[in-house]
Amino acid sequence: MKKEIINIGILGLGTVGQGTIKILQENKEFIEQKIYPKKIVLKKLADKDKDKILLDKNLYKIFTNSAQEVVADPEIDIIVETIGGFEPAKSLIMQALNSGKHVVTANKEVIAKAGYEILDLARENKVNFLFEASVASGIPIIGALSNSLTSYKLKEIMGILNGTTNYILTKMSEEGKDYEEALKESQEKGYAEADPRKDIDGFDAFNKIFILSAIAFRAKIDPNNIYYEGIRNISKLDIGYARELGYTIKLLALARNTGPDLDIRVHPALIPKRHALANIGGAYNGILVRGGEFGDLTFSGLGAGALPAGSMIVSDIVDIIKNYDNYNNRYNYFEKKKIRDFSQTYSPYYLRIRVKDRPGVLAEIASVFARKKVSFLSVIQKGEAGEVVDIVFLTHQAKEGSVQEALKEVARLECVEKICSTIRVVEI
Ligand code: HSE
């Protein structure tokens, strides 16, 4: 007999766990129309915090401090893992899959570190491991890449994949707020990770672009070879200069299928104001997908927060239940691919260099760059003439390794006080 009641257990009642509960409760009727005649029952909720505040007091009846108890419950059919971080999340997921339970998660870190292994285990056990909420929270990008965009090989994905840093950069740029103040606000709004360094230093966006690359290019790749850098060094000064030049600064995640290898990286970038991603502001995420005859596709939506992430967890639950009686394996092909060494990648560059204000300085710097085959698009002196001034250089496309070598030499010139900023530029 087909199972009509599908029991759910949730591990971790932080922002995303609580958002999931709220949606399952408030939209119950609407959700169950899609899975009729099946019904969803919240069977058990676990969090290590004994005093977790649950808005619906009735839920304390199904609350436990033991994630183990939930995973071991034979009546539970689907485990929602919203603990975050690597362990114990990974072991709990593996245990659940091994005991024949489906798993839904928002945990990008676990997928980046152990995704292929987990998917293998899910396949062996004929259950699903779904993770739509792990990338760009409210945007159904994984579904689009794996279910809809299946007719052409994709060439490129560009994304603003971290809501916290996008919120911070937007507040710094549009309201002149300080970094610290904007970060605090994004934490209060529930956008930031429990440890916000994961957002700020690019780790979160790195996990997400790994996931998108693996799915979009059907690639088996080693995440350890992906370069990532966060927004700690972005100053209001650079945001202002970039604006004058017609750009906005964003934390950009990029993945290009070059054919022989994949160019995947995360770093801040100057984006031209008329680029599709330039106006993705606040906690919004944006993703541009290129390739195929469908033209450029741009997705945007809330990339962080309880309800955007919760809504994608619920849609994965619905997906599993709709196919409950006919298991189908959604991820069956990954081809080993090499990630291009970061030093071998190309971009135009924005460089801000602080120099002594005297004749001949530009020529000295230019000759170093010329020797390394880095050519300039424009050079602008910033600020009042004085002892020292900042010079902003925009380069043509140049090799990362050559730019870094040139900068090392430039930093040693007597006329140079400091290399203030090195930011890559994106072309339309
Ligand atoms: N901390 C993440 C972000 C939450 O800011 O985008 C969603 O993954």
Q: Where in the chain is the domain with CATH 3.30.70.260?
A: 345-425
Q: What is the pLDDT of residues 34-44, one digit of tens each?
A: 999 999 999 99
Mark out the alpha helices in 217-305 (DSSP H runs). 236-244
**For the CA atoms of the chain, what is the radius of gyration?**
24
Tell me the CA–centroid distance for residue 108 and ligand 1, in Å. 10
Give residues with Cβ within 8 angstroms of 408, minimum separation 6: none
Reference 76, options 50, 58, 101; nearest CA is 101
Q: What is the pLDDT of residues 60-111, one digit of tens each?
A: 999 999 999 999 999 999 999 999 999 999 999 999 999 999 999 999 999 9
The alpha carbon of residue 10 and the mean position of all alpha carbons in its chain are separated, in whole angstroms, by 23
Q: How large is the average pLDDT for residues 390-419?
A: 97
Q: Where are the alpha helices (DSSP H) in 176-222?
A: 179-188, 197-200, 203-216
CB 309 within 8 A of CB 133: yes
Q: Establish whether residue 15 lines the binding site of ligand 1, counting it when its CB lies within 6 angstroms of any ligand atom.
A: no
Its pTM stands at 0.95
Distance 194 CA to ligand 1 centre (A): 10
Q: How far apart are CA 264 and CA 358, in angstroms?
A: 41
Among 110, 131, 137, 208, the mutation site with the greatest number of ligand 1 atoms within 8 A of its Cβ is 137
- How far apart CA 44 and CA 206 sit, in angstroms, is 32
User: Could you give the residue range(s) of every CATH 3.30.360.10 domain in the chain?
Assistant: 141-302
pLDDT in tens, 232-291: 999 999 999 999 999 999 999 999 999 999 999 999 999 999 999 999 999 999 999 999
Ligand 1 neighbourhood includes 163 CB (under 6 angstroms): yes
Domain 345-425 sits in CATH at 3.30.70.260
Does ligand 1 have an atom closer than 6 angstroms to the CB of 21? no
**Assigned CATH topology for domain 141-302:** Dihydrodipicolinate Reductase; domain 2 (3.30.360)
Is 170's C-beta closer than 6 angstroms to any atom of ligand 1?
no
Q: What is the pLDDT of residue 216?
A: 97
Is residue 34 part of the annotated active site? The answer reads no
Query: Looking at 302-316, 365-379, 381-395, which range is the least confident one?
Result: 381-395
Ligand 1 mean position, distance from CA 320 (Å): 24
Distance 139 CA to ligand 1 centre (A): 12
Q: Place 340 in a pLDDT band, splitting at 50, 70 and 90.
A: very high
The whole-number average pLDDT for the span 114-124 is 97
Q: Where in the chain is the domain with CATH 3.40.50.720?
A: 5-137+306-334
CATH number assigned to the domain covering 5-137+306-334 = 3.40.50.720
Residue with CA closest to ligand 1 atom 8: 304
